[in-house]
Structure 1
Amino acid sequence: MTQNFAATHLSNEQWAAVDAAIDQLAAALEPALVALSLDQRQRVVKMGDGSEAFCRTALDVIVENAELMPRNFDIDEMRRDLASHDALNTRVVRLTRLLEKAHHTDMALGSDAMVAALEGYTFLKAAGKHEGVDALKKLLGKRFEGNGRKAVVEPATV
């Protein structure tokens, strides 16, 4: 094979350990995770990078002026929301990086397999004449049906 981007492969036991770790992560996070509907995601007030500083400063100002706040304003809940946001965001960054590498590895593995399949198919087409693989070549060739150049259709003249 002329290409081998991903040469390390996990054993079934290692995949089982990965699955167990994902299950453990899901179980640990599940109590704190929420699912928002499409409508909620569109309507919710979002805290972006610029708004984050505003929220932190607002908390400081609110804490310093707690006596001006209505009794039902829960400063501690706001503090917990920001702390949980920070903690979750740290994990989201780590998971995003890991997921991106997983996507890259998936792409590399698929590419390695496709290149090997194409090389094998090319070899079978060239070397497999009269070797009893005609039906198999035809089966493999179905992948490429319809991939040729399209005939140019001239417009009819009236």
Structure 2
Amino acid sequence: MSQNLILAAIDEALNQLELHLKGLVALTPDQRRQLTKMGDKSEAFCRQAVHVLSENPGIMPRNFEVANLHRDLTALDALRPRAQRLMRLSERMQDSEMALGSDLMTNALEGYAFLKIAGKGEGLDGPRQMLSARFNRSPSKAASPVDIPL
């Protein structure tokens, strides 16, 4: 029961996130490829450019909005810690999924091993054979005899 409550709380939190984060950008793979990327060194350059351009507004054409640079930099600085929190949560979700899968697989293997031993003569041959399909390897192609010229 508590597991269902946890999942319901996660679903509600995700619904709220989706509702409040509608304004986030969704790029296509092609758009991602075409964008100019900003790495660590480029970020330092951009921050310095914002500073220099803000200190010298007279050198820019009138239609160049230095305020837009400030807005984007402020938004980036506000978004990053939240993105990092979401990435940490996502990693914990993936780790939880992996741990649950591992528990399931370990217990299923243990149960299957017990079924193979204790299930004989109990009318469980059909289910055991069905489970054994997981471990059946496809037969490798028989090597054709090499024709040796005489």
Same fold (TM over 0.5): yes
* Structure 2 counterparts to residues 1-158 of structure 1, below 5 A: 10-31=2-23, 33-146=24-137, 150=140, 153=143, 155-158=145-148
Measure, in 2, the Cα distance between the counterparts of 1:141 and 1:22: 39
Following superposition, the deviation at residue 99 of structure 1 comes to 0.8
Query: Alpha-carbon deviation of 1:88?
Result: 1.2
Identical amino acids, percent of aligned pairs? 48
- Distance in 2, matches of 1:48 and 1:26, equals 28
Q: CA deviation at 1:73?
A: 0.9
After TM superposition, give the deviation of residue 95 of structure 1 in Å.
1.1
| Structure 2 gaps, min length 5 | none
Q: Partners in 1 of 2:76 and 2:2 — Cα distance?
A: 34
For 1:27 and 1:129, the matched residues in 2 are separated by 55
* Cα displacement string for residues 41-69 of structure 1 (whole angstroms, at most 9, x for unaligned residues): 11111111111111111011001100111
Unaligned runs of 5+ in 1: 1-8
- Give the corresponding residue for 1:6: none
RMSD: 1.8
**Which stretch shifts more, 108-117 or 93-102?**
93-102
Give the deviation of 1:128 after TM superposition: 1.1
Relative to the length of structure 1, the TM-score reads: 0.86
Query: TM-score w.r.t. structure 2 length?
Result: 0.90
Q: Find the residue that maps to 1:11 and give its secondary structure.
A: helix
Q: What residue identity is the alignment partner of 2:66?
A: I
Instruction: Report deviation, 1:18.
Output: 0.8
Q: Return the structure number with greater relative CO, CA threshold 8 A, min gap 6.
A: 1
Q: Equivalents in 2 of 1:155, 1:79: separation in Å?
A: 74
Distance 1:155 1:66, change over 3 A: farther
Name the CA distance, whole Å, in 1 between partners of 2:2 and 2:90: 17
Q: In the alignment, residue 153 of structure 1 is paired with which amino acid?
A: A
